Amino acid sequence: METALLEGFLTYLSVERGRAANTVISYERDLRKFGLFLQNESRGFVTFDKGEIINFIGLLRNEDYTSASIARMLSAIRSFCRYLILEKLRREDPSENLQTPARWERLPKAISVDDVRRLLEVIEGGELALRDLAMLELMYASGLRVSELVTLRVEDVNLEAGFVRVIGKGSRERVVPVSEGTIDNIRKYIKQLRMSLLKGKESPYLFISLRGTSLTRQRFWQTIKGYGRRAGLNVSPHVIRHSFATHLLEGGADLRSIQKMLGHSDISTTQIYTKVTSDRLKKVYEKYHPRA
């Protein structure tokens, strides 16, 4: 049913709406991803509501999709909803009045320093604990995006000098410092676990999966969510990166330095953290000041 419905929609797009072939292909890929999400949520391809669309968008943001990519997926879902109404498969449009990413107030979520400490403390005992601890430490210590973390090469890490070379969005290169504690954990992972994971094979990537291959960002996202549940926290790679920036700003770091470490091309993207920090300070003031 769902496959036939999707094929009917794609035919409608290309024949009746005259959409370009590349647009039809993109919409198909986006809707298949949405369909898998609905399947995991035990919802149907016709009976989903606005809440499912919002949760799906939240998942995309956690997986580090750009605003442009999310906007395209939302456009595909909107078109699909209109098609369902046209085919009399549903009466209302659940995508109506949903704002596009460009209009979202993108306030990053951040956990506290104590929460970060608690999250790191639950990473123990498992066969991949050394790797996972090194990865989470590095993400928090250096503010890496999840895509940058899983594609980090051994040659990009200078443990003696204490920095990593990162290739970020738009192939922009930056150098980010690494804390001593993180360096120690990376060394332990390399000496005690990495070679056994490779099983005699070679890989240019620093962090290796159980199969001896490079990690996917989706797999690491699932790993962080698992440790978060164990620690009683709702976390994702984006939350860890946001926490890195927020804690730096709260500690007195200047925006330009944070911009360089995060790899933002425009400082206006970094300035959002000043709003986050101001909101947090306001809450502290209102809670503790006797005249608040």
Domains of the chain: 2-102 (1.10.150.130), 113-288 (1.10.443.10)
Catalytic-role residue among 61, 72, 131, 145: 145
Judge whether 211 counts as a catalytic residue.
no
Residues 64-87: tens digit of each pLDDT: 787 778 888 998 999 999 999 999
Per-residue pLDDT, 272: 73
Per-residue pLDDT, 85: 92
| Spatial CB neighbours of 229, under 8 Å, sequence gap ≥ 6 | none
Catalytic-role residue among 72, 131, 194, 238: 238
Note the helical H segments in 122-266.
Answer: 129-142, 146-150, 180-189, 195-198, 217-231, 237-250, 255-262
Judge whether 264 counts as a catalytic residue.
yes
Per-residue pLDDT, 55: 85
Question: Please, what is the end-to-end C-alpha distance for the chain in angstroms?
Answer: 59
Alpha-carbon distances, residue 24 vs 4, 5, 12, 28, 29 (angstroms):
15, 14, 10, 6, 9
> Coil, strand or helix: which one is 176?
strand
Model pTM score: 0.62
Gap between the Cα atoms of 193 and 212, Å rounded: 11
Judge whether 241 counts as a catalytic residue.
yes
Tally Cβ neighbours within 10 Å of residue 226.
Answer: 14
Indicate the average pLDDT of the chain.
86
Judge whether 289 counts as a catalytic residue.
no
**1 has pLDDT over 80:** no
**109 has pLDDT over 60:** yes
pLDDT: which is higher, 149 or 270: 149
Per-residue pLDDT, 31: 92
Judge whether 83 counts as a catalytic residue.
no
Closest CA to 77 of 117, 108, 115, 46: 46
Residues 220-267: tens digit of each pLDDT: 989 999 999 999 999 988 899 999 999 998 888 888 888 889 888 777
14-18, 35-39, 48-52, range with the lowest pLDDT: 14-18
Please report, rounded to a whole number, the percentage of residues in the chain having pLDDT higher than 90. 42
- Tell me whether residue 114 is exposed, middle or buried, using C-beta atoms within 10 angstroms of its C-beta: 0 to 12, 13 to 18, 19 or more: exposed
Per-residue pLDDT, 106: 53
